[in-house]
Amino acid sequence: MSQLPPLSAEDAAQVTEYVLGTLSLDERIAFEARLESEPALSLDVRGLEQKLAPLAAVGDEVTPSPGLFAKIESAIAGQGTVSNLTVIEGGKTGRDNSTASPVSVALVWWRRSAIGMGAIAAALLVALVGTQLPQQGPQSYVAVVDSNGAQPPLIVHVDLRSGTVLVRPALASVASDKSLELWYIGANSAPKSMGVVENKSLDLKLPADANKSLIEKAVFAVTLEPKGGSPTGKPTGPVVYKGTLIPE
Partner 1 sequence: MTDLNLDLGPILQQVAKSDKAAFKRLYDLTSAKLLGVILRIIKDRVAAEDVLQDVYLRIWRNAARYAPEAGSANGWVVTIARNRAIDLVRRKSEQTMPENEDGEDWFAKLAEGRDREGEIMDASSLRYCLGQMEAEKRACVLDAYYEGLSREELAARYRQPVNTIKTWLHRAIAALRACMETNG
Query: Quick count: other Cβ atoms within 10 Å of Cβ 126?
Result: 27
Among 3, 5, 8, 63, binds partner 1 (CB under 8 A): 63
Does residue 103 touch partner 1 according to CB under 8 A? Answer: no
Does residue 233 touch partner 1 according to CB under 8 A? Answer: no
Does residue 28 touch partner 1 according to CB under 8 A? Answer: yes
Stretch that binds partner 1, among 81-89, 130-138, 189-197, 203-211 (CB under 8 A): 81-89
Distance from C-alpha of 146 to C-alpha of 83, rounded to nearest angstrom: 17
Distance from C-alpha of 13 to C-alpha of 7, rounded to nearest angstrom: 9
CB of 244 to partner 1, least distance (A): 19
Question: Pattern 138-157, binding to partner 1, x per CB under 8 A?
Answer: -----------xx-xx----
Contact status, residue 87 vs residue 153, Cβ threshold 8 Å? yes
Long-range contacts at 100-106 (CB < 8 A, ≥ 24 apart): 100/248, 101/248, 105/80, 105/81, 105/142, 105/157, 106/78, 106/142, 106/248
Among 5, 60, 66, 102, binds partner 1 (CB under 8 A): 60
Distance from C-alpha of 227 to C-alpha of 167, rounded to nearest angstrom: 17
Report the interface residues with partner 1, using CB under 8 A: 12-13, 16-17, 19-25, 28, 46-65, 68-69, 71-73, 75-76, 86-91, 93-95, 149-150, 152-153, 171-177
